[in-house]
Chains A and B, each alone.
Chain A
Amino acid sequence: MVNELRPNEILLVEDDDVIREATAESLRRDGFEVRMAGTGPDGLAAFRDREPSLAILDVMLPGLGGVELCREIRRDSQVPIVFLSARTDAIDIVLGLEAGADDYVTKPFEPAVLAARVRAALRRARPAPMPDGGVDRVGPVAIDRAGHVVTKDSVPLALTPTEYRLLAELMDNPGVALDRAALLERVWGYGWAGDSRLVDVHIQRLRAKIEDDPTNPELVLTVRGVGYKLARS
């Protein structure tokens, strides 16, 4: 893999010509560089050819479905992935999130909305300073906010930017129960139109990476009826 990272390069995989061309053009006008692919296999090849800073995948793709493609990309990359789905196809949304996507936009979408979601996803990848009261360690897990790195027992963990921001948000408020709406707003940048499944699926993925036993979490705890909180160490 040639790793020649361009900070604003987006890979857009969408099979409909008009949606692909017009969306790409909109994103370009918003200042992004856009590469395009029309099928799943082409998308995967383009991704492996050069890793973009973010990928937009349509769920319905010929050859290799968007969910499959997402899973393939997640094998060895943590770039933010936003996928395009139908609001009515709840199953696709859950499958996409579980396959490793960070966010989704439902069709038909306004290009401006997509651009906002893309910017929010990219923002998560940037370092943010620790506020007062925050911690940089819980149990064996430590966060290096400047280096944007999380380690467990000093071994670096491969977290996606979204997983990183979720953990950082919890570590900024140790012991405080954060409800899903607050997490949606602070991590994803949603007002009220967010889907709380985003939070639940990402918490599961975060636990799978940092907990010793993800089914018996000791670091990221569920607060019944509210949301989640970081255990006080």
Chain B
Amino acid sequence: MSLRLKLALAIATIAGLVAGVTGLVVYDREKADRLDRARRSVAQTVRIYAEVLSDPNLARTPPAGAIVEPADSENPQIPPDLRLQLTANPEDAKAPPDKHPDSHVYSEIASASGIPIVIAGTRLPNGDRVYASRSFLADANALADLRVALVQVCIGGALLGAMLGFAVSLLLGRRLRRQVTLARRLAAGDLDARLNPRGGDEIAQLGRALDEMAEALSRKLGELDEAAEREKRFSSDVAHELRTPVTGLVAAAALLDDSRAAGMVRERASALAALVEDLLEVMRLESGELPRLDPFDLARLVRDVVHLRLPGADVDAPQELAVLNDSRRVERIVANLLDNARRHGRPPVQVRVLADGGDALIVVRDHGDGFGGFLPHAGERFALARPERGGGTGLGLAICRGQARIIGATLDLRDDGGAVALLRMPSAVTARPTPVQTALELA
């Protein structure tokens, strides 16, 4: 149930309850008032009757309207309770009526054939009982009208309350929804979003608290960004600063003789240069570069790179596969995948190039131990599968992934009797005399 509905219901219930209780009290008072007046008036009449009937100087003819009930008989019109009260209290009878004007007059509400009446009676000195009655119908009708009016007020109050509650909750809801929107915007990364609420109620306080949270969050994230930026700049600076001495080192090492020691220096200098280059490439990948798209023959590129990097690998590629992509980046990826197969896998290494729908696929498969437990980390920086073996920089797959991302390709790595890398890139333009293959056969 929405907050709006809950609030409307709550306010409607309260309004209805208040109207109902007030109505009940009013009704009770009115009813008691009317009864009291009726009783007083009937009691007065009975007292006059009694006086007339007790006065020896007056005719003993009962006045019109008076009901006289002899001591030893019972008029069925008289409610038994009233009679009981009159007969059960003999003390009252002895006292002269004028001394206790009310104590010996009893009244009762009774119903005479469906019409409510108020009836009062008293005992005459001779033991007879005299009664007077009066219709209560007009009062009962008035009370019934009052009841209807009160029920209407009650319902009206509840409805009005519901409407009021709805209106209040609409306002409240709108304010709360603004906070929800703010929280969502913050979650979506818009850290400049603020509410700037007016007023001092709890919702405004909540809004202010949200604003403060956003402020703190944005400050914290800003600090983190700055730290990350500083770290990135530092790594980049380190790599840049390393380049000059490493270039000199490589150039100088190339001058050494062909001794074993000189070979070791040259080899390590080249490894260092490769590491610096890879590091700089990773930095550059993170700086948001755009690909340079040119049409080229992917089949030929792969054949050429295999020829340069791993001439022993089997290549299964169509005569020609024209694609529109960044050939240098594709070349980097293929070269790195081949280097990985050479360093970490075992022959035979198979390389396949094929068109699959609108995509071009390159699959590099070796028959070594595969990625194994390293698979989840493959592509992380410096995630070396077997630190004691190989000799790569630990950046090869990270560069592959980064380059793939830039050229809009995906790189899937898996184990299937060896390490399998599948590069899928969009926009194979045309394939010429192709051995018919599909990606399904590879899987």
Interface residue from A16, A25, A180, A196 paired with B247 (Cβ < 8 Å): A16
Cα(A87)–Cα(B283), bound, Å: 11
Please give me the residue from chain A that is nearest to B280 by CB atom: A88
For A16, the chain B residues whose CB sits under 8 A away are 244, 247-248
For A191, the chain B residues whose CB sits under 8 A away are 304, 308
B186 to chain A, nearest CB (A): 36
Instruction: Judge if B254 is at the interface, Cβ distance under 8 Å.
Output: yes
- Interface of B, secondary structure class, is helix
Binds A, one of B52-60, B270-278, B434-442: B270-278
Given contacts A19-B247, A110-B270, A181-B294, list 20 more A-B pairs with CB under 8 A. A16-B248, A18-B245, A19-B244, A25-B255, A26-B255, A86-B240, A87-B277, A88-B280, A88-B281, A106-B277, A107-B243, A107-B247, A109-B250, A181-B296, A181-B301, A181-B327, A192-B304, A192-B327, A196-B292, A225-B324
For A106, the chain B residues whose CB sits under 8 A away are 277
- Seen from chain B, the residues whose Cβ lies within 8 Å of a Cβ on chain A are 240, 243-252, 254-255, 270, 273, 276-277, 280-281, 283-284, 289, 292, 294-297, 301, 304-305, 308, 324, 327-328, 331
Cα(A181)–Cα(B255), bound, Å: 33
For A195, the chain B residues whose CB sits under 8 A away are 328
A86 to chain B, nearest CB (A): 6
Could you tell me if B250 and A111 are in contact, using CB atoms closer than 8 angstroms? yes
Could you tell me if A19 and B240 are in contact, using CB atoms closer than 8 angstroms? no
Instruction: Judge if A5 is at the interface, Cβ distance under 8 Å.
Output: no
Instruction: Judge if A98 is at the interface, Cβ distance under 8 Å.
Output: no
Asked, given contacts A18-B248, A181-B327, A191-B304, whether A86 binds B254 with beta carbons under 8 Å apart, the answer is no
Asked, given contacts A22-B248, A23-B251, A225-B295, whether A108 binds B276 with beta carbons under 8 Å apart, the answer is yes
Could you tell me if A26 and B251 are in contact, using CB atoms closer than 8 angstroms? yes
B128 to chain A, nearest CB (A): 129
A185 to chain B, nearest CB (A): 9
For A180, the chain B residues whose CB sits under 8 A away are 294, 296
For B328, the chain A residues whose CB sits under 8 A away are 192-196
For B305, the chain A residues whose CB sits under 8 A away are 192
- Seen from chain A, the residues whose Cβ lies within 8 Å of a Cβ on chain B are 16-19, 21-23, 25-26, 29, 86-88, 90, 106-112, 179-181, 191-197, 225-227
For A197, the chain B residues whose CB sits under 8 A away are 292
Asked, given contacts A108-B243, A179-B296, A192-B327, whether A86 binds B255 with beta carbons under 8 Å apart, the answer is no
For A17, the chain B residues whose CB sits under 8 A away are 248
Cα(A29)–Cα(B296), bound, Å: 37
A82 to chain B, nearest CB (A): 15
For B283, the chain A residues whose CB sits under 8 A away are 88
B308 to chain A, nearest CB (A): 7
Which 10 residue pairs across A and B have the least CB separation, nearest first? A18-B248, A22-B251, A108-B273, A108-B247, A22-B252, A111-B254, A192-B331, A19-B248, A107-B247, A88-B280
